Structure 1
Amino acid sequence: MNTSGLSELEAVLAVARQRSFRAAATELGVSTSALSHAVAALESRIGVRLFNRTTRSVSLSEAGAQFVDSVAPALSTIRLALEQAGSFRDTVSGTLRINTSAGAARQVMPLFIAFLQRYPELKLDIVTEGRLIDIVVEGFDAGIRLAETVPRDMIAVPFGEPQRFAVVASPGYFAQHMPPRTPADLHAHRCIRARMPSGAIYQWEFARHGEALRIDVQGALTLDEPGLMLQAARAGLGVTYLTEWNVAADLQAGTLVRVLEDWTLPLDGLCLYYPGRRHVPASLRALIEMIREHAEAQRTRPSSKGRARRPRRS
């Protein structure tokens, strides 16, 4: 019998339709005694007899007829609501809400576009912010962040190639200032500093031959958005420190020049993460499958250099 908590109501309606406990039990796929017990339990709780019973017939009492007339439409509405909710288990539709950083969203946007093209009935609601939030409390289905920032109680699905940070400035800036040969040389340069979502100023990190350094750079300009940092660097305002993904186009175009490349190591890739493994919506399962397809395609490419744990930025 129905285990949704509505079994007693379903029992009453079945008996009312069939005018027989035995026939109603067959319809619901339960024993006659179980059905009789369910109806009796409801009658006892409300203190009213719903059926007039004899050894040869079953009929609704006056109270029972009124009860069935009131309950049947409501129960039909409830069944429909349950069916509609259950459809999300198997149908890639509805709205999928994802929280991520602006940098990660820009990297993942081609995959989001392909995902919507594959599932045109689906809606994506992407919210970008620098701070790491509780996606459950804030009502998100999933998040996308650097692997090392994913909360440990979440299920993580890694994807995306390893990247490195890059120290860059404009050709005009380096025409007037000697390019740094070691991270310590940055103390003599104007640097475009980055403010973290926590409000702290980000310290640039370097490593080479087992030596690790954190440099608290100085400069006249502090920003909290990579696009603005790129714009400032192109204008010759100083040296900045961003991911390779952010500076790749400028390096190729020659609008920025890279230095200290042998001091920067790979950082962890991105992860999609979500809470628990039970009742994962079909839309999220479909996105996970596409991410795994994407990751598998990347694994067939030439391998990247070894990874190293890096700062929590994306």
Structure 2
Amino acid sequence: MADVTLSDLKAFAAVARHRSFQRAADSLGVSRSSLSHALRGLEQRLGVRLLHRTTRSVAPTESGEHLLQRLTPLLHELDTVLDTISHGPDEIVGTLRINASTGAARWLLQHVAPAFLQRHRRVALELVSEGRLVDIVAEGFDAGVRLAEAVPKDMVSIPFGGTLRFVAVAAPAYVAAHGRPATPEALRDHHCIRQRLPSGKRYRWEFAKGRREMAVDVPGALLLDNSDLMVDAAIQGLGIAFVPEPFARAALDDGRLVLLLEDWSPADPGLCLYYASWRHVPPPLRAFIALLREVTEAQARPAS
């Protein structure tokens, strides 16, 4: 449609993403009134309403949401192509957006981000940490990081960080007062710190021993949605927590927590960085992958 300009589409994407005309206007460096005028003009030319507007909020209509999902990766791809043309194919510039869980983002900040930002000073690295699984393509991310089992099958995945296990932990005072559970079934007689998943469901604790696998819907009056908070609650003696081992490692090492049901907690494949197999891989992501592989190989080498 000839009358629809790139600036119109970028304006719509900004408003739909920020859910606010003012925040979108600030991000684009234009006035709120000019942005509102541009969006009304776009809706008129397309002949469809793209945004629900009230005095307090703005949100995409069904048509607007569909347009945003298709438009976001296209605008991101266009920005990448223009950066490459403007600066030459050998100079790495632009923005690299990665969606990750909090634990994965912490690992990347510790092991990869410092060297990456030092080597590639013209790349802006944006790590968005959240618990929910997102469609990285639809939401404009170059890549995502999740546990291997959660990576969509149609994505290219790159494992890193080694294996990972979930462990049951409790404070020594709790164990002294309530005893140690001998089997996962015995958790039903304990106070457990349960977890609410981003989907809204409660997480069932998963255990394995040899060929036996078990998922237990544990009891407990305390329900949290964050592994760091679950560790804190366990340290306070509020019950048994079930978390990825790295979150509890420091407290296990200094004795604030003890490990329970260790023979039921095997190591599983850990984290993977993943990206869409059908999309062009932008130079910043290629550089990040190369460094991630360097770090992974270095960590796998035996200490001399």
Using the size of structure 1 for normalisation, the TM-score is 0.67
Asked if the contact 1:88/1:94 (under 8 Å) is kept, the reply is no
| Other-structure match for 1:165 | 166
Shift of the alpha carbon at 1:128? 1.1
SS in 2 for 1:157: strand
Shift of the alpha carbon at 1:117? 2.0
**CA offsets 1:251-290 (integer angstroms, 9 cap, x no match):** 0010101111011111221111112365321111100101
Amino acid aligned to 1:181: A
Runs of 4+ in 1 over 6 A off after TM superposition: none
Q: Which has the larger radius of gyration?
A: 1
List gaps (5 residues or longer) in structure 2: 1-79
| Other-structure match for 2:178 | 177
| Other-structure match for 1:95 | 95
- Measure the CA separation in 2 of the matches of 1:161 and 1:98: 20
Asked if the contact 2:83/2:94 (under 8 Å) is kept, the reply is no
SS in 1 for 2:249: helix
Asked if the contact 1:192/1:238 (under 8 Å) is kept, the reply is yes
SS in 1 for 2:296: helix
List gaps (5 residues or longer) in structure 1: 1-80, 303-314
How many residue pairs were aligned? Answer: 222
Counting only pairs closer than 5 Å after superposition, residues 299-310 of structure 1 correspond to structure 2 as 299-301=300-302
Amino acid aligned to 2:142: D
- Measure the CA separation in 2 of the matches of 1:278 and 1:198: 28
| Other-structure match for 1:115 | 116
Shift of the alpha carbon at 1:218? 0.5
Change (3 A) 1:88 1:123: farther
Asked if the contact 2:136/2:142 (under 8 Å) is kept, the reply is yes
- Measure the CA separation in 2 of the matches of 1:99 and 1:82: 21
Using the TM superposition, name which of 200-209 and 216-225 deviates more: 200-209
Change (3 A) 1:226 1:84: closer
Counting only pairs closer than 5 Å after superposition, residues 222-237 of structure 1 correspond to structure 2 as 222-237=223-238
Asked if the contact 1:89/1:279 (under 8 Å) is kept, the reply is no
Change (3 A) 1:88 1:273: farther
**CA offsets 1:117-149 (integer angstroms, 9 cap, x no match):** 222222111111111111111011111111121
Shift of the alpha carbon at 1:109? 1.5
- Measure the CA separation in 2 of the matches of 1:230 and 1:130: 17
Please, what is the CA RMSD of the aligned residues? 1.9
Using the size of structure 2 for normalisation, the TM-score is 0.69
Shift of the alpha carbon at 1:89? 4.2
SS in 2 for 1:242: strand
SS in 2 for 1:232: helix
| Other-structure match for 2:273 | 272
